[in-house]
Amino acid sequence: MGLSVTEKIIAAHIVKGNLTPGEPIAIKIDQTLTQDATGTMAYLEFEAIGIDRVKTELSVSYVDHNLLQSDFRNADDHRFLQSIAARYGIHFSRPGNGICHQVHLERFAAPGKTLLGSDSHTPTAGGCGMLAIGAGGLDVAMAMAGQPFHLNMPEVLGIHLTGELSPWVSAKDVILELLRRLSVKGGVGKVLEYFGPGVKTLSVTDRGAIANLGTELGATGTVFPSDEITLKFLRAQEREEDWKELLPDEDANYSEIIEIDLSSLEPMIACPSSPDNVVKVKEVSGKEVSQVIIGSCANSSLRDLTIAAKALEGRSINPNVSFEINPGSRQVLENSDVSGVLRTLIHAGARIHQSGCLGCIGMGQAPATDTISLRTFTRNFPGRSGTKNDQVYLCSPETAVASAITGKITDPRELGEAPRVEMPEKFVINDNGIISPPKDGANVKIIRGPNIKPLPDFEPLPEELEAKVVLKVGDNITTDHIMPAGSKILPLRSNVPAISEYVFSAIDPDFPKKAKESGNVIVVGGENYGQGSSREHAALAPRYLGVRAKLVKSFARIHKANLINFGIVPMTFEDPSDYDKISQDDTLTIPGIRNALLTGAKTVTVKSSGGDTFQARLELSERDRYILAAGGLLNWVRAELKKDG
């Protein structure tokens, strides 16, 4: 039986296990990336491991999230990140140089390699034929220390593309259509691999946009083949030497195949407030909009800015719309200057911002009360924009610009003949925003601001767990619910005691107080618990408040891994209807939980103060179990290192 591209990359990197889906494996990681909001913690963890220099082929630290400097804290973090990068052999991408995923695709992504990033949209680089996976900061720190990455061998879901996109329809519409069909949990445990004749009609930028939003399906990663289109892109980036061909075998076996005829797709839009709440644009057209933003790691490339500019030639922005451009990288910005795209956008009335995540993570750009904001972003979870009861829609740059012109949600096909967009044979390239580390960093002084607090220590798991249900929530709870972001909370990412005061703040502002009063805490939830970001603060901060276990119907992959890393036991209901037997404020007792973990038990008995007894499942590898018993990954690694002398 032939292999898919995903299986070929995994086979070339596997250090433990085999290619059987669902079984635990470990793979060698070639490259890592971090961004500033997760990076400060990841580097503190790397320091705590005690290695002198990173052991990867390439590690890059990006500053793209916390760009707002309303006091010293973010600026201090930037200096910390720059100094620690030089100390340990990491490339540093300066603030304003661009969003990690866009810059990585441009300057570092390489077919056939593995990339682990402390950001959930790391799979964007899969558009360039690599296996790129999002993870918590501690897993990335371990990869920088030369340790393999542990995961369950994913199923490889084949997406067979035929046909060609129609005018005014673009990559974002492909992935929105997939979100419509599969929902935010349709990709859990899977890598999505695209193949078939339609792939050749998509540029690497298009492929990157599709791979980026595979994350919203809950997928472990998205992989495109590496072909002559990939070569063309790498040549335009003056990185031809990084190319190698990587195609699936003719008889590659996919666990399932989904057919998409690109020619049949229409402009699509995700309505508030979930990326899978997708309909055709024409079904919601005519609604008034107050803000339109082209940006984020999904859609802020030169191609995206160019189509917007071409559509705007001879037209102006509607006076009731704030039309904003967040270029994905300085390369995008500089090239749009050279090509005249920038001038057209400015002339038409666009507000041009610096390169970075900005409003995508609530760092400014909050929309006005009770108005619609149309964004080319990745996520529209409730309140993520910074405005209460926000109405954020996600769409393509084509739909965005058409709506900015008319002031209403508009199917871009109404603009008439579609402009042609050509990309340059060679981009203008300038790497002065990326600082290479010195050969020897031993004498580099690490600069720490007063907001950077040491990592808390956590004790091992007790033999029996008695914990209070301080919160019971429903399905599809996101990490934005658990540990919100935004301009007020993000500057606290290097300060666990301070950030923990905001855990679950949008659901129950008293959660931190109640948790601290309760001693041990358990949170009960529904399906796809912890979807969304890779932020380990959504595990670390609750653990700091006393959360010792979570009992839910199902977990999202990265959040479950983060819970394990910080010693919170992830359990699922053996019988999902037992969820209804638990009330908030019940106390749950799990006798012998530690022993159950260490002896490999598949279930534990949970006794509720409400009088019910039921079974909870422990879907964990042997390694996960040791980590949990030790109270978290750092405790376990330190103990292992001691054993090795």
Binds ligand MIC (CB under 6 A): choice among 226, 534, 554, 572: 534
Output 100 or 547, the one with its CB closest to ligand MIC. 100
DSSP 33-82: EEEHHHHHHHHHHHHHHT-SS--SSEEEEE--S----SSHHHHHHHHHHH
Q: In what order do the strands lie in the sheet with 391-394?
A: 278-280, 268-270, 391-394, 372-375, 291-294, 322-325, 351-352
Rounded least distance, CB 550 to ligand SF4, Å: 23
Under the criterion CB under 6 A, does residue 273 sit at the interface with ligand MIC? no
Which span sits near ligand MIC by CB under 6 A: 146-154, 422-430, 452-460, 532-540? 532-540
Binds ligand SF4 (CB under 6 A): choice among 7, 76, 77, 119: 119
Binds ligand MIC (CB under 6 A): choice among 468, 535, 543, 553: 535
| Residue 199 touches which member of ligand MIC, ligand SF4, none, C-beta under 5-8 Å by kind | none
Which of 207, 241, 237, 205 has the alpha carbon at shortest distance from 224? 207
- Using DSSP's 3-state secondary structure scheme, residue 475 falls into coil
Binds ligand SF4 (CB under 6 A): choice among 9, 42, 54, 99: 99
User: How many whole angstroms separate alpha carbon 518 and alpha carbon 387?
Assistant: 32
3-state helix, strand, coil split of the chain in percent (to 5) is 35, 20, 45
Output 380 or 621, the one with its CB closest to ligand SF4. 380
Question: Which residues are CB-contacts of 518 (< 8 A; sequence separation ≥ 6)?
Answer: 467, 468, 470, 546
Output 65 or 548, the one with its CB closest to ligand MIC. 65
Which tokens belong to 132?
């790129």
Rounded least distance, CB 373 to ligand SF4, Å: 14
Under the criterion CB under 6 A, does residue 77 sit at the interface with ligand MIC? no
Rounded least distance, CB 275 to ligand SF4, Å: 11
Site for ligand MIC in 115-154 (CB under 6 A): 119-121
Q: Which class for 259: exposed (0-12), middle (13-18), buried (19 or more C-beta within 10 A)?
A: exposed
Instruction: Give Cα separations from 446 to 63, 81, 82, 84, 338 (angstroms).
Output: 17, 8, 9, 5, 38
Rounded least distance, CB 211 to ligand SF4, Å: 12
Binds ligand MIC (CB under 6 A): choice among 128, 361, 374, 563: 361
Torsion (CA) 412, 415, 418, 422 in degrees, nearest 10: -80
Which span sits near ligand MIC by CB under 6 A: 69-77, 114-122, 305-313, 514-522? 114-122
| Residue 99 touches which member of ligand MIC, ligand SF4, none, C-beta under 5-8 Å by kind | ligand SF4
Output 326 or 339, the one with its CB closest to ligand MIC. 326
Amino acid identity of 95? P
Site for ligand SF4 in 295-334 (CB under 6 A): 296-297
Angle at 408 between CA 405 and CA 414, to 5 degrees: 65
Return the exposure string of 418-436: e unless at least 16 CB atoms fall within 10 Å of the residue's CB, then b: bbebebeeebeeeeebbbe
501 φ/ψ angles, rounded to the nearest 5 degrees? -65, -10
Place of tokens 């006076």: 319
Binds ligand SF4 (CB under 6 A): choice among 151, 321, 342, 360: 360
Binds ligand SF4 (CB under 6 A): choice among 38, 205, 378, 396: 378
| Residue 38 touches which member of ligand SF4, ligand MIC, none, C-beta under 5-8 Å by kind | ligand MIC
- Using DSSP's 3-state secondary structure scheme, residue 534 falls into coil
Which span sits near ligand SF4 by CB under 6 A: 81-89, 137-145, 356-364, 520-528? 356-364
Binds ligand MIC (CB under 6 A): choice among 485, 496, 540, 556: 485
User: How many whole angstroms separate alpha carbon 505 and alpha carbon 502?
Assistant: 5
Rounded least distance, CB 212 to ligand SF4, Å: 8
Under the criterion CB under 6 A, does residue 104 sit at the interface with ligand MIC? no
Crossing angle (nearest 10°) for helices 137-144 and 36-49? 50
Rounded least distance, CB 430 to ligand MIC, Å: 25
Rounded least distance, CB 341 to ligand MIC, Å: 26
User: How many whole angstroms separate alpha carbon 328 and alpha carbon 298?
Assistant: 9
Q: Tell me which residues touch ligand MIC (CB under 6 A).
A: 37-38, 65, 119-121, 361, 485, 532-535
Residues that bind ligand SF4 (CB under 6 A): 65, 99, 119, 121, 296-297, 357, 360-361, 378
